Every structure is written in structure tokens, then in C-alpha cells.
């Protein structure tokens, strides 16, 4: 209770000094992912393979590289590079499959078949549909995709980070300008990231973690438009 009280007081002081836009956070969306998709949406994969096949090929190559990686810091760097490249590729897949994604909620039989067939294809490549609200659907990796690949090779801070993200990614965080998870679960996320920052103050991940922590904290204090705290 003392920790939550400190969080609330610090959050109120922060909001009183500076107004901050209350951005929705999708459980599977990160700032660098969105920017990577926007900046690279016009790029194409330089390969004769299809986009899905390229995705799986890249994954298998990364797994092979990890088996001979010289140290954990190199594995950290490989994760960062692979994550960024995957976001570009996922953006290209979404663009190519946008016609089917737009039919996700269509009740016509033909549309349902197309959505089902694409869903089966996604599953074969460890991908899935992810509903983000307001009628929009994205294509994402499975929640524990990166954790399973890198957990035995990266440093402890990266391993803990990937585990926390894999757990959070199992549930949609917010949609339609409102929280989907409970305030109790949101409070637990705040505490989890606070513990991470205390345990790994010098982690290379600390800047992005602080940003996410701040967003969670503000949502815990004031809520979102359709799920205010008061």
C-alpha cells in the first residue's frame, strides 16, 4: 500500500506540473514498433521468398546464430536487430493482407473463409490475429515468441524484460479509448516494471521501460477516456 501511495502522489505531482496526453497502450504495441512500421512501410523484402516464408526463414537463421553466439551481450544485440527487422516485415505482411484484415468482422461466408484461411497460415508461422478495437485487426507474433527464442541466450535483464512482455502480450491492454484490463492488473504491471527498474538500473532497456512505466502509471492514476478513475 505504501508503494502504491508513493506512486499516486508522484503521479499527481507530475500531472500537475506538466499535462501529458494519455495514450492508449496496446498489450502488444510498442512505440518503436509503430515507428518502424510507418518509416519502412514502403520497403520490400529483398528475396524471392514470400513474406511468410521469409519470416520463418529469418527466425530459423536467428536460432542458428544463437547457438554459436559468443556472449550474452551479442545475443542482446541480435534480439534488438531481429525485433526491428521483424516489425518491418510484419508491416509488409499486414499491407499485403489488408484486404482480408478489413473483412475480419464481415459476416459473409466468403469473407469468413478468407479470414479462416489466413488465420491458419498465420498459425503455421507463429503469428496470429490481434484485435485492437474500433474494428481494427493487426497481425502479431505469438505472445511468447521472442521469449522462447532468446531466453537462454540473453542477459538476465533482457530475459526478465522478455518474460514480462510475453505475459502482458497475452491480453489486450486497451481499446476504444478505454482500459480492457482491470485496475488491479494495471497496478500489478506498474509494480512489475518498478521492480525491474530497481533491479536493473543500468540496463540498456531502462529508457523504454521508464516510458512504458510512466504511461501505465498515468493510466492507473487518471484512467482513459472511457474508463476514468473517477
Q: What is the pLDDT of residues 168-202, one digit of tens each?
A: 999 988 887 788 889 999 999 999 999 999 999 99
The CA-atom distances, in angstroms, between 202 and each of 10, 22, 93, 133, 209 are 22, 27, 36, 36, 12
15 versus 157: which is more confidently predicted? 157
Closest CA to 202 of 164, 165, 156: 156
Q: Is 115 left (phi over 0), alpha (psi -120 to 50) or beta?
A: alpha
pTM score above 0.85: no
Number of domains, the chain: 2
If pLDDT is split at 50, 70 and 90, which confidence band does 230 have? low
Kindly state whether residue 4 falls inside one of the protein's structural domains. no
Host domain of residue 138: 31-170
Judge whether 104 and 115 are in contact, CB under 8 Å.
Answer: yes
- Tally of residues, the chain: 230
* 183 shares a domain with 159: no
* 145 shares a domain with 56: yes
pLDDT at 227: 85
d(CA 91, CA 138): 9
d(CA 83, CA 106): 32
* 133 shares a domain with 86: yes
User: pLDDT by residue (tens digit) across 45-69?
Assistant: 444 469 999 999 999 999 999 999 9
* 95 shares a domain with 197: no
* 154 shares a domain with 44: yes
Amino acid at each position: 500500500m505504501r508503494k502504491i501511495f508513493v506512486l499516486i502522489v508522484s503521479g499527481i505531482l507530475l500531472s500537475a506540473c506538466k499535462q501529458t496526453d494519455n495514450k492508449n497502450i496496446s498489450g502488444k504495441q510498442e512505440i518503436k514498433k509503430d515507428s518502424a512500421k510507418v518509416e519502412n512501410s514502403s520497403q520490400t523484402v529483398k528475396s524471392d521468398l514470400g513474406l511468410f516464408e521469409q519470416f520463418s526463414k529469418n527466425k530459423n537463421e536467428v536460432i542458428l546464430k544463437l547457438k554459436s553466439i559468443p556472449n550474452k551481450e551479442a545475443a542482446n544485440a541480435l534480439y534488438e536487430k531481429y525485433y526491428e527487422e521483424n516489425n518491418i516485415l510484419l508491416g509488409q505482411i499486414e499491407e499485403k493482407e489488408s484486404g482480408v484484415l478489413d473483412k475480419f468482422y464481415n459476416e459473409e461466408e466468403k469473407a469468413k473463409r478468407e479470414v479462416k484461411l489466413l488465420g491458419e497460415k498465420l498459425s503455421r508461422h507463429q503469428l496470429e490475429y490481434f484485435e485492437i478495437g474500433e474494428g481494427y485487426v493487426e497481425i502479431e507474433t505469438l505472445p511468447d515468441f521472442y521469449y522462447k527464442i532468446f531466453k537462454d541466450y540473453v542477459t538476465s535483464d533482457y530475459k526478465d524484460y522478455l518474460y514480462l512482455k510475453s505475459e502482458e502480450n497475452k491480453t489486450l491492454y486497451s481499446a476504444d479509448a478505454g482500459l480492457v484490463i482491470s485496475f488491479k492488473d494495471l497496478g500489478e504491471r506498474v509494480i512489475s516494471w518498478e521492480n525491474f527498474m530497481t533491479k536493473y538500473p543500468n540496463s540498456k532497456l531502462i529508457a523504454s521501460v521508464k516510458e512504458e512505466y510512466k504511461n501505465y502509471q498515468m493510466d492507473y492514476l487518471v484512467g482513459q477516456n472511457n474508463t476514468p478513475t473517477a
